Amino acid sequence: MERTMIDDNVLRPGRLLFTTAILCLLLPFNGYSRAPIALYSAPESFLYDEAENTYFISNVNGSPSAKDNNGYIVRLNADLKPLEPKFIGGGKGGVTLNAPKGMAIVAGRLFVTDINHVRVFDKKTARSLKNISLKKFGAKFLNDVAADDKGRIYVSDTAGNAIFRIEIADGKDTVTQWKKSDELGGPNGLVYDRTEEHLVVVCFGSGRILRLDQQGNIVQQIDKGLKQLDGVDLDSEGNLIFSSFGSGKIYRLDRQGRLEIIAENLKTPADISVDRKHDRVLVPLMSVDSINTIKLGKKTAQPD
C-alpha cells in the first residue's frame, strides 16, 4: 500500500535505488541533482524529541562515506513543519558534519554518527559540544546510535561488523570496541530494550535481529528471511518496529515472535524511529529526498 508523503512540495523523483547489500551504503549518490530549495537531501534518520515536542532529520546530502562537510540536520515543529531547515550544518559556525546518520538524545545532547566520528550537539542551541573520534578503533562506517538506561552510548559500525560503547564523563570519554564479530552481520539499527536489558540490533547484511546482553553476548538471533534491515525502535507496547531498506517495508515483531508488515511500497526507508507520544512511525525515505509518517495501532497501522 503506497503511503502519502507529508511534504509533497519537497518530494522529487527517486535518484537512485540501492541494490546491493552492505557495500551499497559506501557508494556515492551518482547523478544527484539537488535544487537549492529542497528541504531534504538523502535523509537518513528521523527522530522525535518528546521533551521539546520537535523532530530532527539528518541529511547525508551526497555520498554516505564522503568527508565533504555538507551534511545537515533539519528541525521540525510538532506539526512536522520546518522550524530550521539547517538547524545544524557542516561548515556552519565551525561545525564539522559530513554525512550524518543515526541520532539519539541523551541529557539534552544530540548524538549523531558521522562516518568515523560521533558528533555531540546541544539539542536546543545547536552548539557543537564535542567530536568523539573512533578512527583509532578502526571504525569504517558508523551508522546508528542508542543509549542504555545508564546513559552509555552504543554505536554500530555496519561495514566493520562492530558495535562500540561510549561512556560519557566530564573531561574524559571512554570508548571501547564492545563487540566485533561476523555474527553481527552488518549491524545497522540499534535500540536499547530496558525491559529485557538488551541491546537490539537489526542487521543490514544478514537480515537478522539480534539481542545482546550487558556483556555483549548474543542471547537471541531471530531470522525471518528478511533483508537489508535498517532502522529499529520500540513502540509503546514494547513491540519491535523496524525497516527493510531494500524491500521498502516496515515490520512489527511482537514479544511472542509474531511478525507483520505494517507498511510497504516505500522507497528506501532508512533509520526509522517511533514517536510514542503520537503513536506514529517516523520514516526517512533516503533515495527520494522525502519523509513519511505511519500511524500505529494495536492491530493495524494506518497512514498518518
Distance CA(81)–CA(54), nearest Å, equals 10
What does the alpha-carbon distance between residue 154 and residue 167 come to, in Å, rounded to a whole number? 9
Candidates 26, 40, 73; CA nearest to 267 is 40
Reported as a single tens digit per residue, the pLDDT across 235-289 is 999 999 999 999 999 999 999 999 999 999 999 999 999 999 999 999 999 999 9
For 109-134, what is the mean pLDDT? 97
- What is the pLDDT confidence band of residue 20, given thresholds at 50, 70 and 90? very low
Lowest mean pLDDT among 3-12, 40-49, 249-258: 3-12
User: Could you tell me which residue, 172 or 37, shows the higher pLDDT?
Assistant: 172
Return mean pLDDT, the chain: 88
pLDDT of residue 175 exceeding 80: yes
Q: What is the mean pLDDT of residues 59-84?
A: 96
CA-nearest of 247, 252, 281 to 266 is 247
Kindly list the structural domains of the chain, giving each domain's residue range(s) and its CATH number in brackets, ordered by start.
8-29+36-303 (2.120.10.30)
Supply the pLDDT for residue 168.
86
Question: Do the Cβ atoms of 291 and 270 come closer than 8 Å?
Answer: no
pLDDT value of position 302:
52
Lowest mean pLDDT among 56-65, 78-87, 158-167, 170-179: 170-179
